[in-house]
Structure 1
Amino acid sequence: MRQSRFPLRINVGFVLSLPLGDSRDVPFEFSKIILSPELEMSDFKGQTRFGRARQGILLQGDFEAWINQECTRCLEPFPYRISTHVEELYALDERNVTESGLILPQDGNIDLAPIVREYLTMEIPIQPICKPDCKGLCPECGQNLNQGICSHRQAA
């Protein structure tokens, strides 16, 4: 199945007609999603709530996915789960804009991809490790010590 060009775009204009404090939930689920060349994810799930606020539309969401990482100790690839919570206000106009600078577009279409990408990217570890007890590589021959002991390690 081919991915939509804007898989996380949603029209939330209808939320403006809700009474203050009311909200609507919108789930997302993709077996595979690419938010940037560096961020390809599988089993992506998101649960968002768009609430009517005096200043605009409040987005609250929880997102999780699996990404492929390379262990910094043994250099083996491994799946890694990332998750995040998002809270952002899409202001009705520039008078109500917050630090994030998000303003609700005139057409009511919000593309969540940039926000989700930013939040999930912050959850990726700088030095990913496949497991806490990863033994890494032999500094002499490069043998993955998780797969067995090399002759250099026996001599030490």
Structure 2
Amino acid sequence: MNQIPMTERGAEMLRSELKKLKSEDRPRIIQAIAEAREHGDLKENAEYHAAREQQGFCEGRIQEIEAKLSNAQIIDVTKMPNNGRVIFGATVTLYNTSNDAEVKYRIVGDDEADIKSNLISVNSPIARALIGKEVDDVAVVTTPNGEVEYEVVNVEYI
């Protein structure tokens, strides 16, 4: 499997979710299954079937997180010399030439992406257009409303 780029923060978020799934959710679901079994006939036991379904989701998520963490390539840009290039983990200040607005994004892994917090996935169209650019370069991003030009104003490795 390919390596999955993520920041230290992203890896920590996955580790804490995994810990919660294993130490809280899994035991709670096992207890719910045991209690539902005590009610007798399993064919028409809605609580049992719901708990088994929850167990399937929980175990699936545990496997998914473990796989991601085992293939994680943790990238800490704060330990890299800032050569002014937009790379994974960089925080980029952009100037939108069509509406004169400035925006600031941090390029992160898929699991960390949260547009409300200005964290964009490395696989998003805007991040793909920005990777490799430097200050004063222009990136053209195709959006549902047409092409948008962003000028790179600042690149920080923070």
TM-score between both structures, scaled by the size of structure 1? 0.24
Structure with more of its chain in strand, by fraction: 1
TM-score between both structures, scaled by the size of structure 2? 0.24
Structure with more of its chain in helix, by fraction: 2
